[in-house]
Amino acid sequence: MYISLKWVQELIGLQNLTLIDLVNRLTLAGFEIESIDKKKNFKSNDLILDISFTANRADVSNMRGLITEITALFNSNLFLQTPNSIKPLILLNSYKKTLNSNQGFYSQSINYRHLLKSRDFECFKHYKILKWEYSLWERYLQKKSFSKVIKNLTSENLLHSDDCITLFNMKSQKLRIKESPYWIKKRLLLMGFKPINNIIDTINYLLLETGQVFFAYDLETLQQLTATSEIVFVPNYAAEKSLFPIEESKTIELTKDVLVLNINNKMISIAGLIQNYHTLVNTNTSYVILQSGLYDSKKVKKSSKILGLRTDYSIKLEKQTDLNLIEQAHLRLMHIFWTQNIKFENTSTDKNLFLNLKNNSSLFSRYVEQSEKKIRIVYENLKRLTGPYNINNELSNFQIITNLKLLNFKVRFETGQNCYLFIPLTRRLDIEREVDVIEEVVRTIGFNKFEPLNLRNNQIGYLTKIEKLKRQLRNYFINLGFNESIHSILMKKNSEDEIRLKNPLFNESSALRLTLLDGLIEKIQFNQKNIGKSFETFELGRVYKHLVNGDKKEVEVISGVFGGKNFRSDWGKENSTINWFEAKGLLENFLKRLNIPVSIYWNPVNNYATKFHPNLTTELFVGKKKLGVFGQIHPTLALKNNISKKIYLFEMDIEVLNHFSQSKTLINYLPYSSYPISNVDLSFIVKKSIFSHEIEQIIYKFGQPLLKSVSLFDYYAKEPIKKGYCSLSFKLQFQSKIRTLSSDEVAELINPIIFYLEKHYDIKLQE
């Protein structure tokens, strides 16, 4: 929303308010200042602020609502101040002719405050009266109760509907279409509107000022188009594929779900959006009819969405209307027209109109019912939640009530402990409870005015057991070379077994996932297609299960997909993928690290699911609880996704793992030696029937206490090694904690090892 800084200053008279103060205060109150631009119109400069607000604050999308907000934020009172320029608001009947003839009151830019204070001004003696009249006007606008809203409106030409209620039509006397007054054109241009003529410009100006929508029709054209002089707006739905003109050479096609207003079965306007192009006020217009209505905001929004059409009018009407503002905007519009010598016919008033509307129209009754709802506010609750105000002082009841009144809340049944509030209809959607009202009070006073409460909590935060387990699982698989994946819990519906959402945003996210494996397999397939390589991946996340009794349950699981890569599993064999037992061993090592004291059972199953191999799948049980499932991918699924058949899948319940896993509580830390390590390589010709692990154990036993580690680093079984034998090379590391080892000391440790191996095994040291 764009606002003129000069316009704000003219309305509330805060001349001492700096721009930075205004921006900071609005930002603290929940608004965002997108930009500040300097704009020049009619030889005067102005600052235009682009203000963004949340969707629930449609009440500030016009100048009147924004001024009410700013006034409340700066704790000023409108009916104790006179604005800089009172020209658009008040002129007493007895002064109008004099002011117009002598000063051109509405045709040029004048400092009206200075003019009214000047001694030679004819109306100087009435200045005090003008200020008083203005204060009464603003008090009337702010304090009216909605039950009197319809008092000055007419039931003539009124039809009731569940979808739209035309509140009133006003016929003008004969008028002349011309340019708008200078001050209206100036403000419209600043706000991005193109001036057209005095009728349309005044309606657009009122839209900016009050947010209320009025439509102006050329009465004579309307009568010719509808072939009747009885102007009765009838809300109805359009015929399928009917055409409606919105520009001189442009029509749009309507559907049966679009709400329109008819006169004598002729479509005159799309309700709340746009009127028939041929009925627009133009230079040949002599009579106009004003029409305003109370619309169902959902119907307006639906029509706008169907047609792909949004106008300045529909944007306003997509929000709920405040019944208090309907009559106020009507009076304001009549006043602005009156200052331009545009008069409307007097209409008869039906005193029972309000009662009839309330009883006969469901839409109007809903508005009335919402406006009559009230919220009980307990002062003590507010003071307790907000804490001390202004360092040590508490908010007084008077301050609370004052701020609520500034926001146009109606205070009733006030006592020393509590009060009841009637919420403005424009705030009905976001203010439903006592805590919402408390937030409004604190927001208008300023969050920075309250002393922050220091929470006293001596308890130190800690990680839960399940969180520690999840971190342990994540680290384990990442250290193994797995990649962690993250997918949305929402997915496209593929089968009837999935849990569907009642109102999904998109078809691609219309169901809750039952397993993590679908997303992981999709990633494997994507990687294989684009890079030509498989990779290991896992995911920690939530899935949703069907229970036997028909309920649904959210479960945390860890799933993984691995295999499909070629590597050398044996020194004497070619590269190949891991087999089922090697893949099973990876999970066994993983479960061993969790220190589960209960035995884990691997129970083979056939035809477990469409993702798993029918003969190479097993379920895991810890005691009597099912832990998860492990198996090879189904050949059909592998072929469909063009991936390796030697890929293995697993999925385990984290809650079951957490229940049985035990963490090691005792960790022994040993100091490291500051002396160097002596490395020795030994190569042996070994008969193939002897295991390398057995040799490592013998070396380690004889090398104590100075041998720190022994490892196999080379294997060779080709010529010139004779058949049935192989060459094994071991790396030995010796280190002392108290001294640097000499070559002789290392040799004294190595010689017994060589002697023992050659004597008791078919082993020979390779020089």
φ/ψ of 649, rounded to 5, equals -120, 145
Residue among 596, 561, 589 nearest 469 (CA): 596
Q: What is the 3-state secondary structure (H, E, C) of 630-646?
A: EEEECHHHHHHHCCCCC
Average of pLDDT values for 487-497? 78
Q: Which is more confidently placed, 577 or 566?
A: 577
- pLDDT by residue (tens digit) across 593-612? 888 888 888 888 887 778 89
Q: How confident is the model at residue 318 (pLDDT cuts 50, 70, 90)?
A: confident
Q: How confident is the model at residue 631 (pLDDT cuts 50, 70, 90)?
A: very high
pLDDT of residue 447 exceeding 50, the answer is yes
* Cβ proximity of 177 and 198 under 8 Å: yes
Q: What is the pLDDT of residue 520?
A: 92
Tell me the residue type at 163: D
List the structure tokens of 314.
């529909």
pLDDT of residue 128 exceeding 50, the answer is no
- pLDDT by residue (tens digit) across 174-201? 888 999 888 888 888 888 888 999 999 9
Q: How many CB atoms are closer than 10 A to CB 727? A: 16
Q: How confident is the model at residue 370 (pLDDT cuts 50, 70, 90)?
A: low
Domains and CATH numbers, the chain: 2-143 (3.30.56.10), 149-363 (3.50.40.10), 373-449 (3.30.56.10), 465-660 (3.30.930.10), 678-765 (3.30.70.380)
Q: What is the pLDDT of residue 199?
A: 92
d(CA 558, CA 542): 9
Q: How many CB atoms are closer than 10 A to CB 351? A: 9
* Cβ proximity of 138 and 78 under 8 Å: yes
